[in-house]
Amino acid sequence: MSDTSTATRLVKGVVLLALLVVLLALPLYVEEFWLRTGFAVFAAIIGAVGLNLLVGTTGQLSLAHAFFLAVGALTYVYVSGDPGGSAIEYGGFGLPPIVGMVAGVVMAGLAGVLFSPIAARLRGIYLGVASLGLVFIGQHLLNTWTSVSGGFNGRLAPAFDLFGFSFGGNEEPYLAVLGVPFGQAERLWYLGLALCALACWFASNLLRSRPGRALQNVRDSEVAASVMGVNVQEYKAKVFLVSSMYAGLAGVLYALSIGSVAPESFSLLLSVQYLAMIVLGGLGSVGGAAMGAAFVSALPLVLQQYSGSLPFIVEPGQPGIVASQAAAFLYGGAIVLVVMFEPGGLAGLARRLKRQPRPPQESPPVSTTSSAPADSSSGGTPR
């Protein structure tokens, strides 16, 4: 390994460590709005990393990400929710929330496995159109399967707790760090940070492993990958499974973030937003997916929070541009700029900025002696 490569990895490790320290200390200094926004960003990062494994690394276009998020969220709500309700009789098992979270990830993965035979045989726009059907199927089930989803109005998501430690609701046991009481927002921040870090760590190791290189070969050329001994259909099915499980976990955190689940939350627009995240961040890059997810998911929340002090943005219900529309215009324009000028996304831009300039090449020395020209008058040859 060269000295330059070692130094690059060392600098990258120091930067990641510094970022982790900042994220761990942030709840001690920022207000609740930023903590809740951060938790929503962590959920979006997990989902974007999973979609990037499928689209960016393997080259499989999917518009069904919203469906798998819905499977994870609804499974968590049903498994951990209590039956009954004020206006409708809900179903539910009332099991511990950690069981509901694991069940949400497993059920989303199972849904991916059921769709994987189709995904293994299609590619490009054909796979995109086939996966689009899952979103419409999911919307129909969410609106009609009222015992699970609550119908059009949705249902509340149960608060998460782990071994008696509550991340919401009663906030027991009481916890304070350096005089700062840790309530629901602070606890959910650390939960999202831990799960997001694990998800990114697993994806990074996967990309560096032999299966990760096989997935990249499938993206570059399925024929060449087959010649090299890669079982293309098997790998395409497996990456769909992994991507679906990532989406299931993101769906559980999404339900915890907004406190409820409703059919309108898992529409085709959500799938398009996730595609925007990975295109903006950079296809095939875990760090790029994280940056794109942070931009797309946090932008409407920040614009909504500060809409009173920002020009051209009005409150919902008033004539003009609301925060969600302004956010769509901004990241839509950003996608156009990325596609035109920086196809590698934010990750490609970061690589370009840190790339060291090549040292100037030395010009070859010019000889000070020259051969004597031939004497044409005498017919002799030069010495």
Whole-number average pLDDT of the chain: 84
In a domain? residue 30: yes
Identify which has the larger pLDDT, 235 or 1: 235
Provide the whole-model pTM: 0.86
- Taking only the tens place, the pLDDT of each residue in 165-187 is 888 766 677 777 777 778 888 99
In a domain? residue 313: no
Q: For 129-183, give the DSSP string.
A: HHHHHHHHHHHHHHHH-HHHH-GGG-EEPPPPEETTEESSTT--S--EETTEE--
Domain encompassing residue 152: 26-268
- The arithmetic mean of pLDDT across residues 159-167, rounded, is 86
In a domain? residue 361: no
In a domain? residue 379: no
In a domain? residue 257: yes
pLDDT at 377: 43
- The arithmetic mean of pLDDT across residues 55-61, rounded, is 91
Residue 314: alpha-carbon gap to chain centroid = 29
pLDDT at 7: 72
As given in the structure block, the two tokens for residue 117 are 């035979």
pLDDT exceeds cutoff 60 at 276: yes
**Nearest-angstrom CA–CA distance, 1 and 7:** 10
Number of structural domains found in the chain? 1
In a domain? residue 357: no
In a domain? residue 233: yes
pLDDT band per the 50, 70, 90 thresholds, residue 361:
low
pLDDT at 380: 46
CB 80 within 8 A of CB 96: yes
pLDDT exceeds cutoff 50 at 202: yes
- Taking only the tens place, the pLDDT of each residue in 81-104 is 887 654 456 778 889 999 999 999
Q: Which residues contact 365 (CB under 8 A, 6 or more apart)?
A: none
